[in-house]
Amino acid sequence: MGKIKTGAYNPLPVAPIVLVGANVNGKPNYMAAGFVNGVNVKPAILYVSLNKRHYTPKGIIENGTFSLNIPCADYVIETDYCGLVSGRSADKSGIFTTFYGELETAPMIAEFPITCECRYTGQKVEFEMDTVYFGEVIQVHVNSDLLNEEQKIDILKANPIYYSGIENRYRTLGADMGPAWRIGREYTPKQASATQESVESRYRCAIVERPAQPALTIRSRAPLMALARTIGESMAAIAQYAGRQGYIPAGPPFVAYHGFDGREQDVEIGFPFNSGVEGKTSIQVSAIPGGKSAAYHYIGPYDRLPEIRVGLQQWLNTNGYTPVGVIYENYLSDPQRTAPENLETEILVPLLVTDGVAPN
Ligand SMILES: Cc1cc2nc3c(=O)[nH]c(=O)nc-3n(C[C@H](O)[C@H](O)[C@H](O)COP(=O)(O)O)c2cc1C
């Protein structure tokens, strides 16, 4: 694959968007910022990089304090407004309910689920257009309903906004790719010395054509953290109902992934049956669509499936296939009796068929 030089710019694909707050001339002022991140763990030091013409830096210098306010997606319009309009020409103090914490001069936004107050360390780095200010985090304020039993922030509930600079759009969180600081343990020297051919072969799959199949399914929406439980409960409900009716499944249970709206995954959970079945309440008669699909046989723990789905779609795209429609996963093993590393799953990605032929 060839590389193309596309110029000198910031290629980081997404940045969390915050509103930087400071009291300027005695009034709270908030501005949007994407040039913000942490630089030291203990003490917790953050930086914000602010254009010299902005109004907010005046307040940081005046008070020696500022705040970072992490918006949830519900406030994307107000957040963008604070990035369009300067406090020099418009009073932004009434957009939100302001509260103060220990520092008393770092204004924070009550409507936002996570805010933090910072003491300006007095350290700054000057560039031509922007000045980078460093601040020590004094306190982080979190909505109580965001904390789980371990008192950790449930980031899906916080639903933060990301700025995708390359597209100039706002986005929310995407797929869960697996546990950080842990998934790398699966890296093996074999992968390190892999040739291009073996990397290519990692997602090699069979192209299959299957007829449509009747099914009994439950359609649900669930946040990613609750997905496994939703799937398990729905499968149990369908199995119990089918048992009572005397219906015998024609294959393993499956889940169809209909879409993710940034908060919840839309899934259809079911079992295939031969025709003649009837549904009841939330258990619907549905059909697994027929046609050409890429079939990938995956052996390993279920928590890696989101990552495998993404890798498989990328592999298909770069190998001349056009994935279309809804991905189906057939769970071939019984998780009650199989070790996670031995669980077998068939992932089916429907393919676009041009002139009756999918590329092979
Ligand atoms: C998505 C987005 C990200 C921004 N990121 C920054 C940033 O990191 N640094 C900066 O100086 N301005 C940034 N801006 C621009 C300021 O938020 C904007 O100029 C604002 O009006 C300045 O407000 P103030 O003059 O009241 O301080 C951003 C604007 C948007 C919409």
Domain that holds residue 280: 206-350
Q: How far is the CA of 71 from the centre of ligand 1 (A)?
A: 15
Q: What is the pLDDT along the chain (360 residues), one digit of tens a residue?
A: 578 888 888 889 899 999 999 999 999 999 999 999 999 999 999 999 999 999 999 999 999 999 999 999 999 999 999 999 999 999 999 999 999 999 999 999 999 999 999 999 999 999 999 999 999 999 999 999 999 888 899 999 999 999 999 899 999 998 888 888 888 887 877 544 444 445 456 777 888 999 999 999 999 999 888 899 999 999 999 999 999 999 999 999 999 999 888 788 999 999 999 988 999 999 999 999 999 999 999 999 998 888 888 888 888 888 888 888 899 999 999 998 999 989 999 999 999 876 444 444
Going by alpha carbons, the residue nearest to atom 30 of ligand 1 is 83
Q: How far is the CA of 194 from the centre of ligand 1 (A)?
A: 44
Q: How far is the CA of 33 from the centre of ligand 1 (A)?
A: 5
Question: Where does residue 220 rank: exposed (0-12), middle (13-18), buried (19+ CB within 10 A)?
Answer: buried
Domain boundary among 120, 144, 171: 171
pLDDT at 205: 83
Query: Relative to the CA of 49, which ligand 1 atom is closest?
Result: 9
Alpha helices in the chain (DSSP H): 56-63, 76-84, 155-158, 189-192, 196-201, 227-245, 305-318
Do 25 and 160 belong to one domain? Answer: yes
Encoded tokens for 99: 């509260």
Do 345 and 220 belong to one domain? Answer: yes
- Asked if residue 197 belongs to a domain, the reply is no
Question: Where does residue 129 rank: exposed (0-12), middle (13-18), buried (19+ CB within 10 A)?
Answer: exposed
Do 138 and 224 belong to one domain? Answer: no
Do 166 and 217 belong to one domain? Answer: no
Do 264 and 158 belong to one domain? Answer: no
Domain boundary among 114, 144, 171: 171
29 within ligand 1 shell (Cβ under 6 A) = yes
CB 29 within 8 A of CB 180: no
- Asked if residue 2 belongs to a domain, the reply is no
Encoded tokens for 7: 């110029």
Q: How far is the CA of 144 from the centre of ligand 1 (A)?
A: 29
| HSE, side-chain direction, 13 A CA sphere, residue 13 | 3
**What are the angstrom distances between the C-alpha of 43 and each of 120, 139, 207?**
13, 11, 54
Do 213 and 260 belong to one domain? Answer: yes
pLDDT at 190: 54
Do 19 and 167 belong to one domain? Answer: yes
- Asked if residue 194 belongs to a domain, the reply is no
Do 165 and 210 belong to one domain? Answer: no
Place of tokens 């199995």: 239
CATH classification of the domain holding 289 = 3.20.80.10
- Asked if residue 346 belongs to a domain, the reply is yes
Buried b (16+ CB within 10 A) or exposed e, 185-203: eeeeeeeeeeeeeeeeeeb
Q: What is the distance between the alpha carbons of residues 99 and 338, in angstroms, rounded to a whole number? A: 53
- Asked if residue 201 belongs to a domain, the reply is no
Going by alpha carbons, the residue nearest to atom 10 of ligand 1 is 50
Do 141 and 238 belong to one domain? Answer: no
88 within ligand 1 shell (Cβ under 6 A) = yes
**Residue type present at position 219:** R
50 within ligand 1 shell (Cβ under 6 A) = yes
CB 165 within 8 A of CB 13: yes
**Cα–Cα nearest to 302, from 268, 270, 332:** 332
Do 97 and 231 belong to one domain? Answer: no
55 within ligand 1 shell (Cβ under 6 A) = yes
pLDDT at 48: 98
Phi-psi region of 104 (alpha: psi -120 to 50; beta: other; left: phi over 0): left
Q: How many domains does the chain have?
A: 2
- Asked if residue 338 belongs to a domain, the reply is yes
Do 210 and 265 belong to one domain? Answer: yes
Q: What is the distance between the alpha carbons of residues 32 and 37, in angstroms, rounded to a whole number? A: 14
Do 211 and 331 belong to one domain? Answer: yes
